[in-house]
Structure 1
């Protein structure tokens, strides 16, 4: 029996992604396919209630989901929001058995797990903003590395 302290699972899937190009192409098609098949899916533009605190709602939605799909794109690590999401997703994977499914959208999985190319540039910018020894940035790097080591789907063109 589930503990009354654990949040109820409201969403089947939580989508974590970055960027307009990804939102209107791959994520838009994925979201529509999930919804059409009766899969209750959290996508920020559809589920965030006006006037609510965004970060709190996102963190709660992750905890209230059965599955998190992370769409790693070239710009994903440039977003502090996305990095906060991936940390929470990986925490929930360990603590709440959240299933995590990564999609590597036009990026090599090694970029994500080893902090290469666009991910290295983004993390270097975060380090210059928050400090070289920032615990926050270290958590982001660890979460990206752990998520990047999960078996997922590379998606380039097509």
Structure 2
């Protein structure tokens, strides 16, 4: 473990980089930080030399609120699914954002989420798959923010 410790964050943002990193997620992170809310965003808050897994785990455990930005390709990332399962397992307050994906797709792992899990089954055991699916289902049942229902996203 690194000698530096991850400072306490109020919010942990989980997102699939290619879809939202330079748009929605960066704007959200900036707005939270401008409001004085300590926000963990992986590209900004990982320190050189730190182990990524340990740093992310500490950031999730130390955050008061976790905000997964659930996009069409969120489930493509085993890393995102691991983060989400950790949020659920740590009993964190979770505020999901549904970014161009319907909550029902996330809840039932249909459409792009089904395709992602078909690929994950080739690399991960059924216990891990079930943990990730359970986390997605649980988070999709939480009242969150559906970007599709707003004019400016």
Would you call these one fold, judging by a TM-score over 0.5?
yes
* 1:73–1:105 CA contact under 8 A, matched in 2: yes
1:25 match: 23
1:65 match: 63
CA distance in 2, matches of 1:89, 1:153: 18
Q: 1:10 aligns with which of 8, 11, 21?
A: 8
2:73 match: 75
CA distance in 2, matches of 1:49, 1:9: 11
* 1:19–1:75 CA contact under 8 A, matched in 2: no
* 1:9–1:65 CA contact under 8 A, matched in 2: no
CA distance in 2, matches of 1:48, 1:111: 31
The alpha carbon displacement at 1:128 in A equals 2.2
1:130 is paired with a residue whose SS is coil
Paired residues, what number?
145
RMSD (Å), alpha carbons: 1.5
* 2:19–2:73 CA contact under 8 A, matched in 1: no
Q: Which structure 2 segments of 5+ residues have no match?
A: 1-5
Q: 2:40 aligns with which of 42, 67, 79?
A: 42
Q: 1:101 aligns with which of 95, 98, 101?
A: 95
Runs of 4+ with >6 A deviation: none
2:138 match: 146
CA distance in 2, matches of 1:31, 1:106: 18
TM-score, with structure 1 as normaliser: 0.87
User: Which protein has the bigger strand share?
Assistant: 1
Deviations 1:83-129 (A, max 9, x none): 10000001112xxxx21000000000011111110111101110122
